Amino acid sequence: MKNVILALIILISTKLSIAENLEEKGFNIAKSSYESGRGFTDMISDQLMILIDPKGNKVTREISAKSLENLDPNDGDKTITYFETPKDVEGTVMLSHTHINEDDDQWLYLPALTRVKRISSSNKSGSFMGSEVAFEDFSAGDYRKYKWKYIGEEVYEGDLCYVLESYPIYENSGYTRRVGLTDELLRARKIDFYDRKGELLKTVFFENYNLYEDKIWMADSMKVENHQNKNATIFQWQNRKLNVGLDKKEFEKSSLMRLAD
């Protein structure tokens, strides 16, 4: 009897050790992937946001964006997204401050209302400007916002990739989990998002990678396919420049209305 109990203890300990190792491996890969895209200090770019409905009809929006890398290891980055065209969204500005141990701060300036609206925690899973991107997706690249697990390896478009499962720490997240592919260059290639019911909601594809500053891989296009409503959103980056010397004051809530002028 003692031998049976001992065998069970060893079996349970082994399974726990394997699970811990898989979680640790997943975390380390996610961390390395995140850190490989760091070191740009700040960044500006132009973007096209292309909304595609199930019938293939397209609406294209022109965007300018700015990012400020936060060197504080206990906090995240800041981004500004400004809509240039078309007329119905012109002048709309989104400001996002990513935080690690608390909810992200996000504000939206709506020119029609001439006021700044704070995005509440309960609305972070909502659609950003009618796209298939949610407000919470703005900080989706930060590994510290998730728990991780290494699942295995898979060949994707001819490249060997790590399969990583991640679970949002954010309690108001619209997702229960994500399953993503990260290649050997530590570039995210594809991520499946599962909704609160555990059903596949959407897939994000990262494409057209380019090497910036001879050291940082960045995707110059991203496609989001919603499997439930059959809509899609494509983002295309243009004129991306790193280390341009942006003023930190531009990334404060008080600057939103001034930026929209």
pLDDT digits (tens, 9 = 90+) for 47-99: 999 999 999 999 999 999 999 998 777 788 999 999 999 999 999 999 999 98
Q: In CATH, what number is assigned to the domain containing residue 179?
A: 2.50.20.10
- The length of the chain is 261
Rounded to a whole number of angstroms, the distance between the first and last alpha carbons of the chain is 79
| Whole-number pLDDT of residue 73 | 75
- Number of structural domains found in the chain: 1
Low-confidence ranges of the chain (pLDDT < 70): 1-20, 257, 259-261
Per the rule left: phi > 0, alpha: psi between -120 and 50, beta: everything else, 114 is left
Q: Please report whether residue 9 resides in a domain.
A: no
Q: Please report whether residue 69 resides in a domain.
A: yes
| Whole-number pLDDT of residue 256 | 80
Question: Can you give the C-alpha Rg of the chain in angstroms?
Answer: 20
Domain that holds residue 91: 34-260
Q: Please report whether residue 75 resides in a domain.
A: yes
Listed in order, strand segments (DSSP E) in the chain are: 42-52, 58-68, 75-85, 93-99, 105-110, 115-118, 146-156, 159-168, 175-183, 188-195, 200-212, 216-226, 232-242
Which position has the token pair 């609206």?
A: 117
